[in-house]
Structure 1
Amino acid sequence: MRSQILIVDDEKRFVRSLTFALNQAGIQSQCAYTGEAGLAALEENPPDLMLLDLRLPEMSGMDVLYEAVRLYPELPVVMISAHGDTRAAVQAVKAGATDYLTKPFALDELLHLIQNITERTRMQEELTYHRTRGASSSGLVGSSEAMTHLWQTIQRVAGSSAGRILLLGESGTGKAVVARAIHEQSTRSSEAFVEINCAALPEQLIEAELFGAEKGAYTGAHQKRSGLVAMAHRGTLFLDEIGELPLPLQAKFLHFLENGDYRPVGGGSNHIADVRVIAATNRSLEDEVRQGHFREDLYFRLNVIAMTIPPLRERGEDLRELLDAFIDSQAREESCRPIKIPLEALNLMLAYSWPGNVRELRNLVERLTILYPGQLIRPQHLPAEFHAASAPKGDNKQLRESSLDQHLQRAERQLVLEALEKTDGHKGKAAEQLGLSRHAFKRRLQRLGIT
């Protein structure tokens, strides 16, 4: 049973007798005789349930209900009404009250109602707990407001009929993890989750990877092969870095999104697949459309349900949880004792902007675990960038983001130039060394102004 009940009623004799009866039944209670006093009691010592009379002096019971529902949406409220107020009590239930009682009522009736509400609340708490566990097992770690909102959105989208979902967010924020969580929370969870990185495949092979190919359709096709679309039938197909999809293939992929049918490379007939498609990108597809690199109609078709994954710098309170999860996981991977992060090192991490987001944090933990297994991580163990001056905050948010973009672009440019130097300027080999398709590599050269 509930341990604490707030009774808000202006009939003092009724309140005293009800308080005594509840105490006898092992239920603690507090009381208030006006609406204002009831709201003050809610703020000072939030109860587990509130009994609220409809007729109160000055501030009415309905006004108290509206304010209580707004401030404490999870609080069960049972309205108390006289015989003639039954219709108003029903209206109160529609406004957010859990139930209502009509005076005079028997104590057993009240105790039975309290027990039912207690049981419902307990079941809801268990459901919330299991949902939280589900989020954690899906790789979504964190209880910040941003992550709570994201997890709620994942559940709504996963349970919907939406077949085209677009995930937006910076590199390293965990778009693949979110895609898998949507799949696992959906009715398609028993079927396949198929992932393809559009930037990691040579341009001439992406179509065959997606739609399959008949024997002899191209050089090296020695046998018939099924595509990823067929493998994902009744399940989920996740396309990472959708912005790297070559323009000629974009039209064919749009046709598949609109009609659900496709033709394997070299095939003579169409096939049909029932697939939920989740696409992800870390760049602005609107800009890509304006520059002629991405089809506008495909962008609109994918952008039915768009979800933005928050960067790590906006999830400060999640850093400790993520650290603990990665430290435990990496210690098991390396079969060693976990590293320890004292406050001085943690403060440096909290002040850092994490341009590589969650992926950068995981990589850092992996490196520290390998180099300092089981040790206390001191500030000197952290990379040099953690010791730089804190980035501007507040009004300088735009400046900080601009500085971060410049830093990432310089780093990307340096990696590309080093790859070209190592391969004597051979673009194909440089692309292979960076794990990119030739198409994606050419796009980067254009964007970075490298000739």
Structure 2
Amino acid sequence: MSKGTILFVDDDRSGRELSRFNLEKAGYAVDEAQSGEEALRLFNPQKHDLIISDIRMEKMSGIDLLTKIKEATSGVPVIMITAYGTVDAAVEAMKLGAFDFILKPFSSDQLIVSVEKALEHKRLKEENRELRLKLSGGGRELVYTSSKMRQLVETVDKLALSDASVFIRGESGTGKELIARRLHLKSKRAEKPFVVVNCAALPAELLESELFGHVKGSFTGANEDRLGRFRHADGGTIFLDEIGEMPLDLQAKLLRVLQEGVVDIVGSDKPVKVDVRVISATNSDIEQKISEGTFRQDLYYRLNVVDLFVPPLRERREDIIPLMEHFLRVFGDGSGYSFSSAFKELLCSYRWPGNVRELQNLCKRLTALNPGVRCFDVEHLPPSLKGRASSSMQGFLEKLPLPPEGISLVDLERELILKALIFHGWNVSKTAKYLSVPRHVLAYRMEKYGITKEGGV
């Protein structure tokens, strides 16, 4: 098995082939590039663990290549190769983020030692990042076994390599902030601030100052200058939760930040440049807000470069027990726990309207009220949960007759959607909420089944 994949860049063919031979002999996989331009075409941060590049090459120098690599990702170390006459350039490369430089001529041992140091440094950084990812969630780290969450996390890790604005949808309590935090800590901005702003938690008159800052004396009570969250996040990431609740006048100022990279400070006529990645989230129907005129469409398009959806807990029931085991370890004494079959069946049939946050609170309750208990049964659950889990959907399904000749699942879904629409007076938003699906999912299924108000089905 390969010890790592190295991209080796040098316009000297003989030197490149000799180094490749020595690296492969030491157990590394090697991709070759004879120019900086070719290296950029070949480079894949998910494949390559290390780049080794000569400094002096025609057209694109090793310094130029280093600069472009560091703009793309900070996670892949770069070793520069230099001759005695270019030592000053090598020192400059170190300032720009190169891990090390090797002087020509170098031995196989010198090359391998430098490679091992670089990869060990990369491994330690990744371990530190994973640890920070766990600690930053305060016991709310991403725990999952479901395919839906696995696909989401894979997408998040790919997006972390870019600076694109990300728009996260999902019900309250699904873990949108954890997804945003992972995007940050997996990115090249990981060492810079991650700033969280809940746009629904602050009054409109305070939110502007909180986001963009103010100068002393700009309004009553402004007794000193305030930087604002955007300037606190400079170089890092800002997470705007409940973005749909932002007042319209502030939406215009946010649009200017996204378009021009400048912040307009309250009480000042001098805009300030900021370098911030913006991640936003909502649990509301943002398209409905746009149609009602309470959210700017142009801002939505700026925020929604990439759209992510965090599924509710009821759509990933295989995550319920792993999450419960995790939370019980966090809130308990760290020991293992077990559950009766009836306990697990009840939890997995419950709809979890509060999602992961509700499950987390249940685990806090269980450990607080049942010290010393290692095996949980239905009797340990609050009456409200037991009652709600056994009602509603379960009662509906128990009364549903199954015809002996069989049933079409497609026809059943079509009829259910149609009846729900009629029940709610063809209000798509209310129907989507009733069926526990996002509005755009219901709209897609209506189109798929040809359901219209005029024609029914």
TM-score, normalization: structure 1? 0.57
Q: Could you tell me how far apart the structure 2 residues matched to 1:144 and 1:189 are?
A: 27
Per the alignment, in what secondary structure is the counterpart of residue 339 of structure 2?
Answer: coil
CA–CA separation in structure 1 for the residues paired with 2:225 and 2:242: 27
1:101-250 alignment to 2 at 5 Å?
A: 139-162=141-164, 164-250=165-251
- Larger-gyration structure (1/2): 1
Whether the aligned pair in 2 keeps the contact of 1:338 and 1:374 (CA below 8 Å) is no
Tell me, in whole angstroms, the C-alpha distance in 2 between the residues paired with 1:133 and 1:183: 12
Q: Secondary structure at the match of 2:173?
A: coil
Q: 1:133 to 1:268 in 2, by over 3 A?
A: closer
| Long gaps (5+) in structure 1 | 2-125, 409-451
Conserved in 1, the CA contact under 8 Å of 2:129 and 2:185?
no
* Structure 2 unmatched runs, 5+: 2-122, 398-408, 422-428, 437-457
SS in 1 for 2:221: coil
By how many angstroms is 1:219 displaced? 1.5
Assess, with a 3 A threshold, how the Cα gap between structure 1 residues 306 and 237 changes in structure 2: closer, same or farther: same
Select between 295-304 and 337-346 the one with higher mean Cα deviation. Answer: 337-346
Name the CA distance, whole Å, in 2 between partners of 1:192 and 1:278. 13
Q: CA RMSD in A?
A: 3.2
Matching residue's letter, 1:385: R
Relative distance call for 1:366 and 1:297 in structure 2 (3 A) is: same
Q: Is the CA contact (8 Å cut-off) linking 1:338 and 1:373 kept in structure 2?
A: no
Partner of 2:318: 317
- Structure 1 residue aligned with 2:391: 388
- Report the counterpart of residue 330 of structure 1 in structure 2: 331
CA distance in 1, matches of 2:177, 2:220: 32
Shift of 1:338: 6.8
- 2-side partners of 1:320 and 1:211: how far apart? 42
Q: Quickly say closer, same or farther: Cα 1:130–1:402, change in 2 above 3 A.
A: farther
Cα gap change, 1:150 to 1:277, in 2 (>3 Å): same
Whole-Å separation in 2 of the counterparts to 1:284 and 1:350: 27
Aligned-pair CA distance for 1:402: 6.8
- Contact 2:216–2:222 (Cα < 8 Å) also in 1: yes
Question: 1:385–1:178: structure 2 CA closer, same or farther, 3 Å change rule?
Answer: same
C-alpha contact (below 8 Å) 2:173/2:356 kept by paired residues: yes
> 1:34-433 alignment to 2 at 5 Å?
139-162=141-164, 164-332=165-333, 340-375=338-373, 376-382=375-381, 383=385, 384-391=387-394, 395=412, 398=417, 405=433
1: CA distance between counterparts of 2:254 and 2:163? 20
Letter aligned with residue 238 of structure 1: F
- 1:403, 1:368 → 2: CA distance? 35
For 1:218, give the aligned amino acid: F
Contact 1:351 / 1:390 at 8 angstroms: preserved in 2? no
SS at match of 1:194: strand
Amino acid at match of 1:361: L
Aligned AA (2:159): V
Letter in 1 for 2:256: H
Q: Secondary structure at the match of 2:166?
A: strand
Corresponding residue SS for 2:376: coil
Counterpart contact for 1:191–1:234, Cα < 8 Å: yes
Deviation at 1:154, TM superposition (A): 0.6
SS at match of 1:385: helix
Change (3 A) 1:362 1:267: same
One-letter code aligned to 2:340: P
3-state DSSP of counterpart to 1:154:
helix
**Which residue matches 2:107?**
none
Kindly state the Cα deviation for residue 337 of structure 1 after the two structures are TM-superposed.
6.6
Amino acid at match of 1:276: R
Distance 2:344 2:179 in 1: 26
- Contact 2:253 / 2:264 at 8 angstroms: preserved in 1? no
What is the CA distance between 1:289 and its match in structure 2? Answer: 0.3
SS in 2 for 1:277: strand
Cα contact 2:214–2:266 (8 A) shared by 1: yes
Q: Deviations over 1:184-220 (max 9, x none)?
A: 0000000000000000001101010001010111121
Q: Which residue of 1 aligns with 2:405?
A: none
Q: Deviations over 1:48-79 (max 9, x none)?
A: xxxxxxxxxxxxxxxxxxxxxxxxxxxxxxxx
The whole-number CA distance in structure 2 between the counterparts of 1:265 and 1:132 is 36
Which residue type is aligned with residue 178 of structure 1? I
Q: Aligned with 1:306: secondary structure?
A: strand
Percent of residue pairs identical: 41
Report what 2:32 is aligned to: none
Superposed displacement of residue 341, structure 1: 2.6
**1:292 deviation in Å?**
1.0
- Residues 133-152 of structure 1, C-alpha deviation per residue, up to 9 Å, x if partnerless? 77867611112111110111
State the alpha-carbon separation in 1 of the partners of residues 172 and 129 from structure 2: 25
Contact 2:325–2:336 under 8 Å retained in 1: no
The answer on whether the counterparts of 1:209 and 1:227 sit within 8 Å (CA) in structure 2 is: yes
My pick for the range that moved more, 366-375 or 188-197, is 366-375
* 1:303/1:403 CA distance change after superposition, 3 Å: closer
Q: Report the Cα distance in structure 2 between the residues aligned to 1:196 and 1:182, rounded to whole angstroms.
A: 16
Q: In structure 1, what is the Cα distance between the partners aligned to 2:230 and 2:146?
A: 36
CA distance in 2, matches of 1:385, 1:130: 42
Matched residue count: 281
Task: Give the match for residue 8 of structure 1.
Answer: none
Q: Is the 8 A contact 2:174 2:310 kept in 1?
A: yes
Deviation at 1:318, TM superposition (A): 1.3
Q: TM-score, normalised by structure 2?
A: 0.56
Q: Is the 8 A contact 1:142 1:322 kept in 2?
A: yes
CA contact (8 A) 1:337 1:373 kept: no
The 3 A distance-change label for structure 1 pair 204 and 132 is closer
Distance 2:170 2:309 in 1: 6
Shift of 1:380: 3.3
Deviation at 1:268, TM superposition (A): 2.5
- Mean alpha-carbon deviation: is it higher for 373-382 or for 309-318? 373-382
Aligned letter for 1:373? P
SS state at 2:284 partner: coil
Indicate the SS of the match to 2:162. Answer: coil
- Tell me, what secondary structure is at the counterpart of 2:332? helix
Cα distance, 1:231 vs. partner?
Answer: 0.5
